[in-house]
Amino acid sequence: MKAKNIGEFRHYEFCRFCGLKTTPVLDLGYMPLAGGFLKTPKLIDKEKFYPLMLTFCKNCFLLQTSDVIDKDILFQNYFYKTSAIQTLVQHFEKIGDELVKSFNGTRKIKVLEIGCNDGSFLKYLLKVGFDAYGVDPATNIVSSLTPKLPIHNDYFGLKTAQKIKRDKGTYDIICSFNTLAHIEDMHEIFKSIKLLLKSNGILVFENQYLGTLIKSNLYDTIYHEHQYYYSALTIRNFIKQFDMEIFDIVFSNIHGGSIRFYIQNKNTGIHKIQKRIKNIFANELKNKFDQIYTYRLLAKRIKRQRKQLISIVKKLIKDGKTIAGYGASGRGTIIMNYCGFDSNTLDYVIDDAPAKIHSYTPGNHLPIVPSSILMTDKKTDYIILFAWTFRDEIEEKCRLYKQNGGKFILPLPKVTIV
């Protein structure tokens, strides 16, 4: 086998939140970038791999990746588009409606979205009457949207925050979805947020929840972009140093299980601290999110999960069955590479995102094809649903495939054939 081409990365022995030494808990080995889809087979030789390891901080309970890749490699050419996923668009509309309800004054409310991606949420905010502005570094996504949509194409950080403050002033709401776990220097991010947030303003941000990773062994959410895995305890510890406090927490099913924090400046008393968050902290302590052995056990369960999926797939292949994948997503990249699935295992991976069709999956180089292939290809017996968190949407799309006897393999949270 050809040796893997190892890319450049920064290795951390210490916690990026509190600076103390961390302990490794799970090593997934060298992995390609989850979103490193290859446009042509020629690019295979140039493909790079990076270590993917999680470490735990016994001091502030942060679970982080030990190795960080430069942000220009990760984000300037981003592969993920919100609007491609209907479930996400609806999720944002619901959050937008909630914000409208809690800010129903006569004054125009100013909202800044960090990591606005293709503007799905921004458009909704504008539609409901907010004065909304977005920031996103992915030039490939943002360039066609501006100037129609008010988006600043850059990384969010102190320099950007200073510019926005000069041009636009401060904000009532700063929000961010699936972004604030993707940034190496969270100290700078919070300093920038403080600069732009009105003293009575709120910060709303949502990320995948550490509790779901632990409960459902979601190793497919572990990738280089996801540098942090947040619990309520970790965020409470971290934001103290910025004189901020959590006043509410909402859980949602999006991305297989997410946590949404509502944060305000400390001692402003503007928003009452919701009683339920006390229970959330207590529950995390009860489930030992502050203990290293919780993460050692998680690593064991993840390894077992991988073994199960590999053995089912091996058996099907031995029985002469044909298998494909569904969802050329970061999750798919991780599952396939961690389980060692290649062209001897899967024929292709289905995805309808125009930017991905006719590209190749990272690491194992399978062709990506549109779902219409299921109309003509009658020989695929099983499809591994890498995009299992959007199962309902996909099953509806593939009704005919199922009616014709096709089966899905769910890789997570439990390896199941449906």
59 lines the binding site for Zn ion (CB under 5 A)? yes
Q: Site for Zn ion (CB under 5 A): which residue of 25, 26, 52, 57?
A: 57
- Span near Zn ion by CB under 5 A; candidates 53-61, 148-156, 296-304, 360-368: 53-61
- Contact segment (CB under 5 A) with Zn ion among 39-47, 51-59, 180-188, 381-389 equals 51-59
Shortest spacing between CB 66 and Zn ion, in angstroms = 13
**How far apart (Å, rounded) are the C-alpha atoms in residues 110 and 199?**
13
Q: Are strands 407-410 and 416-417 parallel, antiparallel or unpaired?
A: antiparallel
Q: What are phi and psi of 251, to 5 degrees?
A: -95, 145
> In the bound complex, what is the minimum distance in angstroms from residue 231's beta carbon to Zn ion?
12
Q: What are phi and psi of 86, to 5 degrees?
A: -60, -40
Q: How far is the CB of 72 from Zn ion (least distance, A)?
A: 26
Which tokens in the block code for residue 327? 């969802």
Residue 53 dihedral angles phi and psi, to the nearest 5°: -135, 140
* Selected range binding Zn ion among 7-15, 42-50, 134-142, 206-214, rule: CB under 5 A: 7-15
Q: Give, as one character, the DSSP assignment of residue 109.
A: P
Please identify which residue in the block is written with the tokens 């992995």. Answer: 31
CB of 289 to Zn ion, least distance (A): 13
Residue 18 CB, nearest distance to Zn ion (Å)? 3
- Return the ∠ at Cα 33 (arms to 32 and 35), rounded to 5°: 130
Between residue 253 and residue 272, which ones bind Zn ion under the rule CB under 5 A?
none
| DSSP symbol at 272 | P
Binds Zn ion by CB under 5 A, chosen from 60, 126, 135, 175: 60
Binding to Zn ion (CB under 5 A): which residues in 294-353?
Answer: none
CB of 386 to Zn ion, least distance (A): 32
Our CB check for Zn ion shows the closer of 55 and 380 to be: 55
Q: Which is nearer to Zn ion, 55 or 208 (CB)?
A: 55
How many angstroms separate the Cα of 114 from the Cα of each of 111, 135, 155?
A: 10, 5, 9
Interaction with Zn ion in 8-27: which residues (CB under 5 A)?
15, 17-18
C-alpha–C-alpha distance, residues 37 and 140, integer Å: 14
The count of residues interacting with Zn ion (CB under 5 A) is 7
**Dihedral sign, Cα of residue 376, residue 380, residue 384, residue 385:** positive
**In the complex, which residues of this chain contact Zn ion (CB under 5 A)?**
15, 17-18, 57, 59-60, 62
